[in-house]
Structure 1
């Protein structure tokens, strides 16, 4: 399944989902079903594709309306009008299957090359503008900003033969089995028609296609190469179904020939899948798969030829060295572009330039003012493609074969512009709020630590209170003992009684006042701790550094918050909370109230 295009781009390529439906333009590279998955539910005008791709696709999905498609042929350029700025798209041959193309997009978003599925060869780049191609070890004059690349075989070091060489192997294998009464060709995939055409021309015979069994392939061949189709089931060359259950059907054909005392039929499967799948195979079979320059027979009696309509790893690295893009994105999620040698060596040099261009692709320019380091740098990309009408014929022709570049301006009715990305949209993208450093603790850890601090504050307050009361009682007992030792034991001493009573009252009064002050400290500390806890819980989504938050939330004699804490409230659109009065101010207010009374 192809990947979605980034949200900052006004177009989608080969994706048909609710997200891609929001794009204003849609492009289809070829008619394989995995690139058209979901098109019946989420297709919308306009869909740009070649005429052949449209016809093939509508054979699979006749429900699609013909008016939804806009034709673009190999070598043709279109100027697409868009509210975010016009851009130019050019189609190039993808060397994959009939009607398959690659798209080059040039606009304010940069220069983006989308290959779809492809088998890259030097012929694929003959019509590509010279400014995008490097020469003699030099980088191109205008490197592509992004390549969305078909990396199907990017992780396999297998060196695949060219398509021409593979077709010759098929023909040679048939020549080497003249006694085979029947030749079954497992070529029912769109893109393998070239093999059937080569075999038919080399041996001068048509190929039987069972219309009832394989209707889609019959209809495709009827459109692409109707001259090679035979409806005679006794023909020597016959189209054979590929997977699934290829080996079961092959075993049945071989058993039938042996039962009739005939030579075994020749069953040929031109494909690269058998060569790249090495899980659970023996060492002998691995050695057989390494021989890609000739046909190989497996243990089931099926002959294999390495015929690929996707680029090998070696071809991908060669193409990237030629084009020299700034960044490569794999369109096949199972195979990552970073596994390619070119990406490892070249695509991590200018990380800042990549980050800036990524902001454009993600459409987050609307929140540049939130970044304290200033606005992002402009994406280093070339201007809109040069005036392609100079030296070429401008025409509105819709013919299938167009040999010259054409320029058309299409007046479409795209949907309205997307709303600007808000702070919450930024959070959905997984981007941090850059005005503050990332905190090391999560929200639950902060809450637990604050509750622990609150409990510890209360315990310390109670301990201070108990110590104060105990000291007061000890002083009172010691004073009583000293007074008793210095008086006459024969009778009571009124002066001692008065002094004892006065001292006891003053000490009790002092202990009570100390206890009240301790309770006041406890209440103030508790209120302040609870206030800090509430404040942190409200603003923990901003991911503020826990140490900075603790420093700014401590009780001090100042009535104003620090600048960092004030900036936390700004994106919340709420007034800054007023700090509670300090303990010193409360004591002063209490004393002044006593003086007045």
Structure 2
């Protein structure tokens, strides 16, 4: 999150990929800029009323720990999106250290190198095959992006644990009200269990709404690609409007739903 102070005591603000938390509004920079922001650039990836609530990142991590505890004797292919993966793997590493310790396998060489640079304390092993000596837990990218899940040989079962937002955007938006606080057991293509846990670095509609309402900017400009199906994708740095499913769908600026929260400038004296 970036807040720029301009001449005359005015401000521009860019939310970046933020998640709302209780102490955010008490930050001195936000307190100083409140009701002085001219333009607020807002991450609108999930800024839709369909995505009113997400579990917190800490809750997501606790759910992951619970799943690793359940499958403590099984091979696990741990799949996550790239954004924020370091946080999840650090948490997994701490969990392993407190439960006897274990070496983590990493499927992608790039992923392996980047994570070692970002977190030099992690004990990671680059996995190149499916031999019996591979670590019990192997980290990779989302299955839609690569063949990340490794099917280890041996007598132990193989379990997929997926931590990403793709699960919501592709399969579960219609049932978010009932399922958003729980991982859901689904059946994988080979009959093995696949657990999905919500992991979002982007804020929900409710989080964006609370921040915009608190800051009271004069103007909100959307930044990012809208991830919901059947809606326009907006990116001011690329072709302004791009459609995911229906090229004939009307253009809907995601920032319009926050119009009532904008500050009305007082007339100059």
**TM-score scaled to structure 2, two decimals?**
0.72
Out of 346, 361, 375, the position equivalent to 2:261 is 346
Q: 1:228 to 1:206 in 2, by over 3 A?
A: farther
Out of 139, 147, 152, the position equivalent to 2:45 is 152
Are 2:141 and 1:241 aligned?
yes
Match of 2:106 in 1: 209
Match of 2:202 in 1: 310
Q: Is the Cα–Cα contact under 8 Å of residues 221 and 229 in structure 1 kept in the other structure? A: no
Q: Is the Cα–Cα contact under 8 Å of residues 182 and 197 in structure 2 kept in the other structure? A: yes
Q: 1:316 to 1:225 in 2, by over 3 A?
A: same
CA distance in 1, matches of 2:148, 2:69: 23
The 5-angstrom pairing of residues 507-522 of structure 1 reads none
Q: 1:319: how far off?
A: 1.0
Out of 215, 219, 224, the position equivalent to 1:327 is 219
Indicate the structure with greater helix content. Answer: 1
CA distance in 2, matches of 1:273, 1:149: 21
Q: 1:344: how far off?
A: 3.4
Match of 2:7 in 1: 108
Are 2:150 and 1:271 aligned?
no
Q: Is the Cα–Cα contact under 8 Å of residues 183 and 196 in structure 2 kept in the other structure? A: yes
Q: Is the Cα–Cα contact under 8 Å of residues 36 and 217 in structure 2 kept in the other structure? A: yes
Gaps of 5+ in 2: 128-133, 226-232, 235-252
Q: Is the Cα–Cα contact under 8 Å of residues 154 and 316 in structure 1 kept in the other structure? A: yes
Q: 1:216: how far off?
A: 2.5
Q: 1:179: how far off?
A: 3.4
Q: 1:290: how far off?
A: 4.1
Out of 58, 61, 81, the position equivalent to 1:164 is 58
Are 2:180 and 1:292 aligned?
yes
Q: 1:293: how far off?
A: 2.0
Q: Deviations over 1:102-138 (max 9, x none)?
A: 22112238311012222232444424252334xxxxx
**Helix, strand or coil: the match of 1:184?**
strand
Q: 1:156: how far off?
A: 4.7
Are 2:45 and 1:128 aligned?
no
Q: Is the Cα–Cα contact under 8 Å of residues 186 and 194 in structure 2 kept in the other structure? A: yes
Q: Is the Cα–Cα contact under 8 Å of residues 209 and 229 in structure 1 kept in the other structure? A: no
Q: 1:287 to 1:148 in 2, by over 3 A?
A: closer
Q: 1:273 to 1:176 in 2, by over 3 A?
A: same
Match of 1:534 in 2: none
Q: Deviations over 1:253-293 (max 9, x none)?
A: 2xx65xx5x34312111111211224xx8xxx954884122
Indicate the structure with greater strand content. Answer: 2
Q: Deviations over 1:542-580 (max 9, x none)?
A: xxxxxxxxxxxxxxxxxxxxxxxxxxxxxxxxxxxxxxx
Q: Is the Cα–Cα contact under 8 Å of residues 330 and 337 in structure 1 kept in the other structure? A: yes
Q: Is the Cα–Cα contact under 8 Å of residues 115 and 149 in structure 1 kept in the other structure? A: yes
CA distance in 2, matches of 1:132, 1:273: 34
CA distance in 1, matches of 2:78, 2:61: 12
CA distance in 1, matches of 2:28, 2:77: 38
**TM-score scaled to structure 1, two decimals?**
0.35
CA distance in 1, matches of 2:18, 2:261: 22
Q: Deviations over 1:177-229 (max 9, x none)?
A: 2331x11111351411111111111122231224xxx2332222112212223
CA distance in 1, matches of 2:177, 2:77: 21
Out of 82, 93, 105, the position equivalent to 1:189 is 82
Match of 1:405 in 2: none
Q: 1:239: how far off?
A: 1.1
Which aligned segments of 4 or more residues in structure 1 are displaced greater than 6 angstroms? Answer: none
Could you say what the CA RMSD is over the residues aligned between the two structures, in angstroms? Answer: 3.0
CA distance in 2, matches of 1:249, 1:218: 13
The 5-angstrom pairing of residues 559-574 of structure 1 reads none
Q: How many residues align?
A: 227
Q: Is the Cα–Cα contact under 8 Å of residues 106 and 138 in structure 2 kept in the other structure? A: yes
